[in-house]
Structure 1
Amino acid sequence: MVAVLILERAPRGLRGELSRWMIEPRTGVFVANLSAMVRDQLWERVQAQPPPVAAMLIVGARNEQHFEIRIHGDPSREVLDCEGLQLVRIKTQAKHKRR
């Protein structure tokens, strides 16, 4: 299943580790067709990173949108649930600094 992983403020070591499994078309953006097991193991490695590392993982799902978004840390965007649909909103500077 295709997975898109977007990292913010990630160390080079983590990016290097992810590049073994995924391609990085743009700095901090990783894309690959992964099995669920490999995807989940990579996500666990990302979640093990201390702040300020932040990440969004977008994976296929059985819902109306056919994908779901998972969040780790405090990314610059937030996911809102609007009647079962996941929408992404850019945080304002004031909100982002408070967290």
Structure 2
Amino acid sequence: MIVLVVTACPAGLRGDLTKWLLEVTPGVFVGTPSARIRDLLWDRTVALCNDGRALLVYSSNSEQGMEFRTHRHSWVPTDFDGITLMMRKHPPSEAKRRKGWSKARRQRAAYEAR
């Protein structure tokens, strides 16, 4: 069984995927194709998914029982001692974070000081 999630992809890709898979909600496809068809569908998805993102979860003969593939996604499959977990990439720079107290905290401190 596979679950394929596409985001911000052309409508033509969604229409093409419905030939092989069932679209249960917009952008989420479920089905049970063979491994060969699954790989061909993934290659086609990556080729046609211009600026969009794609995530594929499929059953496999592993301890978890599933594997992941991503394309231009903010979550990356990462292996931790034989278990694959999804890890979010860190933002490129933390320098934009503001330091100090929030405006609400400063107002509350001023109110409590009265």
TM-score range, shorter chain: 0.7 to 0.9
Gapped regions of structure 1 (runs ≥ 5): none
Amino acid at match of 1:38: I
CA drift of 1:18 comes to 0.2
Please say if residues 79 and 86 of structure 1, whose CA atoms lie closer than 8 Å, have aligned partners that are also in contact: yes
Please say if residues 13 and 49 of structure 2, whose CA atoms lie closer than 8 Å, have aligned partners that are also in contact: no
| Partner Cα separation in structure 1 for residue 39 and residue 79 of structure 2 | 23
Percent identical pairs in the alignment equals: 37
Please say if residues 7 and 55 of structure 1, whose CA atoms lie closer than 8 Å, have aligned partners that are also in contact: yes
Q: Which has the higher contact order (CA 8 A, sep 6+)?
A: 1
What's the C-alpha RMSD, in Å, of the aligned pairs?
1.7
Q: Which has the larger radius of gyration?
A: 2
- 4+ aligned runs moved over 4 Å, structure 1: none
Is residue 2:33 matched to residue 1:25? no
What TM-score, normalized by structure 1, do the two folds share? 0.80
The Cα offsets for residues 5-53 of structure 1, whole Å up to 9 and x where unpaired, read as 1112111000010011111111111000111121111111012135412
| Partner Cα separation in structure 2 for residue 32 and residue 19 of structure 1 | 10
Aligned length: 92
Please say if residues 7 and 54 of structure 2, whose CA atoms lie closer than 8 Å, have aligned partners that are also in contact: yes
**More displaced 10-residue stretch of structure 1: 29-38 or 79-88:** 79-88
Q: Which structure's residues are more often strand, by fraction?
A: 1
Please say if residues 80 and 87 of structure 1, whose CA atoms lie closer than 8 Å, have aligned partners that are also in contact: yes
What TM-score, normalized by structure 2, do the two folds share? 0.71
